[in-house]
Amino acid sequence: MKKYVFTLLGLLLSISCFSERNLFSLVDSLRKNGVDSIIVLKVVEGGVWGTERLNNDTCSPTGYYEGVYVNNYIVWKRSGKCYFTKTHPCINYKPMLVDCSSLFLFINKNASRMRKEKIYPEGYGSNSVTWHENNVNTQVYIYLKNKVIHFKFNQTDIEKEYNPKYFDYNLQLRKMKFTNKLIRKLKTIAIGNEHKFGL
């Protein structure tokens, strides 16, 4: 088993450049190598916020749409051990051994309920759509064997100012509780440089 883990890590380290475009290639590679418990957090910052992130990124990333800054975080479990990495257009982040048992315990306990939950977006039930120059979109993918739980929401969906009718309901969902739990966990991981935007 140790040989398998080292082979898997070697495969990941040989990938020359993780980016938004090959995020799901990484996920596919993990799944093809027998990893069936994977969590992906994708955070997209747009407008002025996204432009500031791009301008302040010391790596001068390419491959993003103008004014949009994307961060992808991946956690996976194999044989009771958890690993983490982050994708970036021009930085090769090494997989790190982390403690993520609480994340998968939460998923195992709440997966069925999470699949049934609905996040109500800002303006739900009305014909009007509000455009926001600055916004943060969050997407979560949870791969469990041959099944996937996928959900997404905008920051405005969970703020009273923009979504007074459903913001409180949304915040009580297991999907949202899991996302907050995941973000709190990622904040404790020493990624190794300043690229911790979006959390």
* CA–CA separation, 184 and 142 (whole Å): 17
Indicate whether 163 belongs to any domain: yes
* CA–CA separation, 137 and 176 (whole Å): 13
pLDDT of residue 75: 93
Give the tens place of pLDDT for each residue, 53-107. Answer: 555 555 555 444 455 677 788 999 988 899 998 876 666 677 889 998 999 999 9
Give the tens place of pLDDT for each residue, 164-188. Answer: 999 999 999 999 999 999 999 988 8
Largest CA distance in the chain: 57
pLDDT of residue 17: 38
pLDDT at residue 6 greater than cutoff 50? no
pLDDT of residue 115: 96
Domains identified in the chain, total number: 1
Phi, psi of 168 (to 5 degrees): -70, -40
> Quick one: average pLDDT of 33-40?
91
Cα dihedral 117/121/125/126 (nearest 10): -170
Hey, what are 28's tokens?
């596919």
Task: Identify the band that residue 119 occupies on the pLDDT scale cut at 50, 70 and 90.
Answer: very high
Q: Which domain holds residue 80?
A: 2-187
Residues 155 and 121: beta-carbon distance below 8 Å: no
Task: Identify the band that residue 1 occupies on the pLDDT scale cut at 50, 70 and 90.
Answer: very low
Residues 42 and 70: beta-carbon distance below 8 Å: yes
Indicate whether 141 belongs to any domain: yes
Indicate whether 197 belongs to any domain: no
pLDDT at residue 3 greater than cutoff 70? no
More confident position, 158 or 3? 158
Give the tens place of pLDDT for each residue, 10-35. Answer: 444 343 334 555 677 888 889 988 89
DSSP for 15-31 reads -S---GGGHHHHHHHHH
pLDDT at residue 4 greater than cutoff 50? no
pLDDT of residue 135: 79
C-alpha distances in angstroms, 124 versus 55, 79, 114?
A: 34, 42, 20
Q: Which amino acid is it at 6?
A: F
pLDDT at residue 45 greater than cutoff 70? yes
Indicate whether 54 belongs to any domain: yes
Residues contacting residue 52 through CB under 8 Å, at least 6 positions apart:
none
Indicate whether 195 belongs to any domain: no
* CA–CA separation, 151 and 168 (whole Å): 17
* CA–CA separation, 82 and 22 (whole Å): 21
Indicate whether 111 belongs to any domain: yes
Indicate whether 194 belongs to any domain: no
Indicate whether 127 belongs to any domain: yes
Residues 148 and 186: beta-carbon distance below 8 Å: no
User: Which residue intervals of 124-173 are DSSP H helices?
Assistant: 167-171
